[in-house]
Amino acid sequence: MEPFKIHILGCGSALPTLRHYSSSQVVEIRGKQFMIDCGEGTQMQLRRSRIRFTKLSAVFISHLHGDHCFGLIGMISTFGLLGRTAKLDVYAPAALEQMLDEQMRLYCHGLEFEVVFHVVDTTQQQVIYEDRSLTVESVPLEHRVPCCGFLFKEKPTMPHIKRDMMDFYHIPVSQIYNIKGGADWMTPEGEVIPNSRLVEPVEPARSYAYCSDTRYIPTLYERIKGVTALYHESTYGEDCIQHAEKYYHSTALQAAMVARDAQVGKLLLGHYSSRYEDENVLLEEAKKVFEDSFLCDEQMIFEL
C-alpha cells in the first residue's frame, strides 16, 4: 500500500511556548506532499522532519489567524533562495490573496516559480483540489473569522490481477481491464469463474479530515463520516469550557464527541492552549468518550 502519512510540524495555539510550534502539518500521500497551515517556525520544523522543501506542491490555509499563516511568506522566500522552479498552489480564504501579493512584492523579488492562489469559500463543502489519486474538500467550520477544514480522500484503486489464475484459465490480455472492473470469466465449457478468484482484494481507500479552529459543531460529524483519521482542535479542557465558547474553540471532550459520532478510525488532538503544562489531562477527557484518541506532538508521524 502506498504511504499515507500525517507529519505533525506544530500543534500549539496562538501564544508561543517553548514546547509547541504554531499549527502546521504535512500530508504525504502516494508520493505527493501537501501542507496544511503554516504558522511561525514551520521552516525549522520542515528541516527537523527532513521533509524536502521541493516536494511540497500545495499549501492549504484554514483561516487568517497568525498562528496558522505567519510562516507562509517566509517559506515562499526560502523556496526562492533554494532555486525552486515548480509552481506552488496556495488554497486559502479570499482575504489572504491581496496581503500575500503585497508581501511577495516587498520580500520575494525575482522568484523563478509561480505562486498560484486559489480562493476557498469557507462556507461550502466542495472539492477544491483533485488529481488522479485523491481529492481535497473544504469543510465549513465556525470560528471568529472565516475558517474551514480540509478533507483528504484517497481515490479507490483497481484490484491486482492474479497472473497465475489468468494463465490457468487462458484468459486473454484484452480482458484484463474488464476483470479489474469486476467482471467474471466464462470458460469455453461454460463454467463461470467468479471475479474474486481472479483478482487480489482491493485495499480500502483512506481519508483524513483536518478540523482547524472551531467551536463545537454538533452536526460536523455528518461532513466527515467514517474518515480513517480525524484531527480536531482541542484547545481547552472542560475546566475552560467558557473560554472555548467565548473564543469559538473546542474542548478535547467535544472533539471526541465529533469523532465518536463520525465513527472515525482515530482522533488526533492538537492546538493546545498554553495554559496546559501537561496535555494528558486533555487526552484523558477525550478517551472517556472516544478511546482511540491520541495527542499530537511535534515530529510525530501518523500512518493511515
**Residues carrying an active site annotation:** 67
Cβ(51)–Cβ(43) below 8 Å: no
| Distance, CA of 22 to CA of 95 (rounded, Å) | 21
- C-alpha cell at position 262: 463520525
Q: Specify the DSSP element, H or E, that contains 186.
A: strand 185-186
Question: Cβ distance 21 to 30 under 8 Å?
Answer: no
Distance CA 186, CA 197 (A): 12
User: Rounded distance, CA 217 to CA 296, Å?
Assistant: 22
DSSP state for residue 31 in the 8-state scheme: T
Q: What is the CA radius of gyration of the chain?
A: 22
- CA nearest to 128, candidates 103, 95, 164, 91: 91
Residues 227-264 as b or e (16 or more Cβ within 10 Å = b): bbbbbbbbbbbeebbeebeebbbbbbbbbbbbbbbbeb
C-alpha distances out from residue 218 to 4, 148, 221, 258, Å: 28, 16, 7, 7
Coil, strand or helix at 188: coil
